[in-house]
Copies of this chain bind each other. A is one copy, B any other.
Amino acid sequence: MPKVGMPAIRRPQLVEATMSAIDEVGLAGASVALISRKAGVSAGIINHYFGGKHGLLEETMRSVMRELSKGVQLRLSITDQNDAKARILAIVDGNFDGNQVSSKVTKTWLAFWSHAMHDPTLFRLQHVNERRLLSHLRVELKKLLPPERAQFVAQGIAALVDGIWLRGALNPQGIDTRAAIKTIEDYLERQLHDSQP
């Protein structure tokens, strides 16, 4: 019998190496050779486990999204079910989780965002992810605002999240999580205080 349980070790190992490579040289420079070297395995193994480079990239994107989702769910699970405002801030906070704002993850996100435009599989993944943020926010906002307004504010918050994140990705000092949350909290409170602009 061969070594067993290897997939459980190799797959995360290669996903990690992929993000690390993208962080260092960008998606364009993240060759199979470089990624496998970083993972300390041979290049052929990527085919063995992911059926090709594309499979690895797809899994990497899924992994990043899974982590994001996990961070949000964790925060929601420890937040009062009835405190909508707290839940919204929990969602926002999850999007600025320490893991998500690391250079490695930030660059990986951005690389995939650009790449997804011309790759149907990645595009769909990305799209689902974007809808989810909006949907999560809308559910909570509907408890506080009329439906139309809830949709409007959800889009505003989502835009702020992505915009702050995008601008932070470009900044060598990275994302200032505290400032990010303060900006969005401020936005939210102004929307709740006086819902008619």
Contacts and interface: CB of A to CB of B under 8 A. Distances in A.
Interface of A: 25-29, 107, 110-111, 113-118, 123, 126-127, 130, 152, 155-156, 158-167, 169-170, 179, 183, 186-187, 189-191, 194, 197
A191 B127 CA distance: 31
A159 B179 CA distance: 12
B158 A160 contact: no
A114 B113 contact: yes
Centre residue among A113, A116, A179 by max chain B CB count within 10 A = A113
**How many monomers of this chain does the complex have?**
4
B183 A155 contact: yes
Given A118-B26, A189-B197, A158 B166 contact: no
Contacts of A28: 27-28, 115, 118
Contact of A27 (B114, B116, B156, B197): B114
Contact of A159 (B114, B183, B190, B197): B183
Given A27-B28, A158-B163, A160-B163, 11 more contacts: A25-B118, A107-B117, A111-B117, A113-B169, A113-B170, A116-B170, A127-B170, A152-B186, A155-B179, A156-B187, A160-B160
Contacts of A189: 197
Contact of A161 (B152, B163, B165): B163
Contact of A26 (B117, B130, B169, B190): B117
Given A163-B163, A187-B156, A190-B197, A130 B170 contact: yes
